[in-house]
Structure 1
């Protein structure tokens, strides 16, 4: 389901939990996200909606519905960053990078790492 994947913060956290667990029930997700204090019914509703979007699939095991992610984390990040660049930076990814450097809390080592990464990417092109 690569392409245009948009997830709210809450949806992303739930899918991220399933990536970490491999698969799980609403109860499993709730226990993993106990610091968010989300109701079991809320998690169940979000899981169901994500399944309808094609982000998750599920099967019934005993009395529980077990969910697993049908999308890769890298696809979600790529899509969400692409949407961010398109929406906030008019498609100019260099503007995003410049913004991060200006506004971010980077030290010289971080910027050297970014430069090395860019040079490596240029070699692969």
Structure 2
């Protein structure tokens, strides 16, 4: 049985999304130039990536003065929710607590991060946590 194509963005697609989230609608050349500042990449590679992203529903396009203008359809928030959810399910067995513990133990959180997390937790005190969804076969 064929695997269902993923709707989650790849690393290259995330790179394009970050450009579009930052700039708003942009032409192929602008997206390419932005990514070219951090790493060498062919214009045709960006064009192919955008076409794949269009098929996945991550971006949209409209006619512009010099070709298509590309815009992000996937929001930063929905993308983060999907990617973090996938990590929590597949790496931390559905446990957000284990994800946070991992970040603390690895030293990934600085004092400011910990203070912000405490404030978020205190702001949600008394709010029931959503029940964790169990994966198949558990």
Q: TM-score range by the shorter chain?
A: 0.7 to 0.9
- TM-score, normalised to structure 2, is 0.79
Could you say which residue in structure 1 is the equivalent of 2:19? Answer: 17
Could you say which residue in structure 2 is the equivalent of 1:80? Answer: 83
- TM-score, normalised to structure 1, is 0.87
8 A contact 2:7–2:56 mirrored in 1: no
Q: CA RMSD in A?
A: 1.8
Structure 2: state its 5+ residue gaps.
Answer: 1-5, 129-138
Structure 1: state its 5+ residue gaps.
Answer: none
Give the paired residue count.
122
Q: Report the structure, 1 or 2, having the larger helix content.
A: 1
Instruction: Return closer, same or farther for 1:95/1:13 CA change in 2, 3 Å cut-off.
Output: same
Residues of 1 paired with 2:75 and 2:22: CA distance?
12
Residues 88-117 of structure 1 deviation map (CA, whole Å, 9 limit, x = unaligned):
001000000001000124444432332122
Instruction: Return closer, same or farther for 1:120/1:67 CA change in 2, 3 Å cut-off.
Output: same
Q: Structure 1 residue 117 and structure 2 residue 120: aligned?
A: yes
Residues of 2 paired with 1:109 and 1:49: CA distance?
38
Which contiguous aligned blocks of 4+ residues in structure 1 show a shift greater than 6 angstroms? none
Equivalent runs, 1:1-125 vs 2, <5 Å: 5-34=7-36, 35-122=38-125
